[in-house]
Structure 1
Amino acid sequence: MRSTDTLTRAEIADAIHRRLGLSRAESLAMVEAILQHMVGALTEGENVKISGFGTFLLRDKGERVGRNPKTGVEVPITPRRVMTFRASQMLKDRISDLPG
């Protein structure tokens, strides 16, 4: 049982170590390699889809005018690329079935 509300790289590596019997160093290296591969794909402008889990999507947002909520002054917001995550239906279903 985990002691926090946040799953960490180390905890993922530990789960691989326990389930597959790889050394802790090998397990952590595997986690790092997967994450680096995902980061590399996103950096190259590719979306990352993990079947049964979800998709990391890149989206370009154009320049727009925003407003300071305190003063009401309009300010330009520069164009940028953002990443979003869209959970798969399987993941959504599993989460909605959780108690509480």
Structure 2
Amino acid sequence: MTLTKADLVEAVYKEHSTMTKKAAVDAVETFLRLSKGALIDGSDLLLSGFGKFNVKDKKERKGRNPQTGDSLMLEKRRVITFKPSGILRDKINAS
């Protein structure tokens, strides 16, 4: 099963009885916008009890086309890694 943005909105809406559906949508959208903005700017995103998203720079490197075997240079790029918190890891492994 995959948790979607719509599922998150529904969960926030159900958790907070005084919140409207539109307010729940706005809350989830704002959180995601702020999170994406931080990662795009190159900042790490730490969510206590959940984990840490890190932005890492990959250098240009030699690669190979697996279909043809031709060598090529892969461009430098940025990637996002995720490391779960110890709390989350323990809960996942307890299941």
TM-score (norm 1): 0.88
Unaligned runs of 5+ in 1: none
Cα deviation, 1:50-77, whole Å, max 9, x if unaligned, reads 0110111100000000112233221110
Task: Return the letter of the residue paired with 1:18.
Answer: K
Give the paired residue count: 94
Runs of 4 or more consecutive aligned structure 1 residues displaced over 6 Å after TM superposition: none
Partner in structure 1 of residue 5 of structure 2: 9
The amino acid of 1:8's aligned partner reads T
Unmatched runs of 5 consecutive residues or more in structure 2: none
User: How big is the alpha-carbon RMSD for the aligned residues of Structure 1 and Structure 2?
Assistant: 1.0
Q: Is 1:43 the counterpart of 2:6 in the alignment? A: no
TM-superposed CA distance for 1:35, in Å, is 0.5
Question: With structure 2 as the length reference, what TM-score do the two structures score?
Answer: 0.92
